[in-house]
Amino acid sequence: MKGKRISTQTKTYSSSVMLTSDFERKTMFYFGLGILILVPVFKTLTHLPPFMGILFGLGILWLVGDLMHYKKEDAQKAQFTLAHALHRIDMASIVFFIGILLAVATLEHSHILNSLSIFLDKVIGRQDYIVTLLGLLSAVVDNVPLVAASMGMYDLTQYPTDSFLWEFMAYCAGTGGSILIIGSAAGVAAMGLEKIPFFWYVKKISWLALIGYFAGIATYIIQYNLMR
């Protein structure tokens, strides 16, 4: 009498296969976007540093993700945990940006940034031209250390927070960083997570971002002159 052969199959899951529903993906996207938008509100209400608001939001996002996938098998839901996403972070890039921030602090304390602002005022003269060039520079240097450097170049007593300089700087530094994918921490992270080639981005996206950058500059300056 032949014995029955019992075969067992183990389920395996690949990160390349999308195992989430459209609702789950949209929920996580809008939660993440909403948390980023609410960081300034958190700072205003609690008077705590913004990084604490980001960490608090990260905890909420972690909880939402765990609750959303808790019914799935461990092997399946492991790739959707925040811990799994953190393992994919390019630590070399994070250290790189920390180094830039430390270098900016050194330049500020040595008064080199102040001397640079005086030099730019003498050579270029117009403030809108200077900020536009700084925005283009943010395509290579991340916008966070660039704005930190700008804060070291210009005194807040001379240029209040609601002045043209800082409003225009916020636009140029933030938007100019999208001209090249290496111009922002998010772009560098996207290169690592999604394997986006640098030259593909230059060919397909950079020229569109550059057109949008100068179109936004023209729009802002026209609005500022009309509403001033």
pLDDT by residue (tens digit) across 101-138?
A: 778 778 777 888 878 888 888 888 788 888 899 888 88
Q: Which residues of the chain have pLDDT under 70?
A: 1-20, 74-79, 81-83, 86, 88-90, 93, 97
Cα torsion 106, 98, 156, 182: sign: positive
Question: Which residue spans within the chain are E strands per DSSP?
Answer: none
Amino acid at 44: T
Q: Which H or E run contains 201?
A: helix 198-201
Q: What is the pLDDT of residue 3?
A: 46
Q: What is the pLDDT of residue 214?
A: 93
Q: How far apart are CA 150 and CA 156, in angstroms?
A: 11
Q: What is the pLDDT of residue 215?
A: 92
**Token pair 């700072």: residue:** 43
Instruction: Sort 81 into a burial class: Cβ within 10 Å, 0-12 / 13-18 / 19+.
Output: middle
Q: What is the pLDDT of residue 12?
A: 44
Instruction: Sort 182 into a burial class: Cβ within 10 Å, 0-12 / 13-18 / 19+.
Output: middle
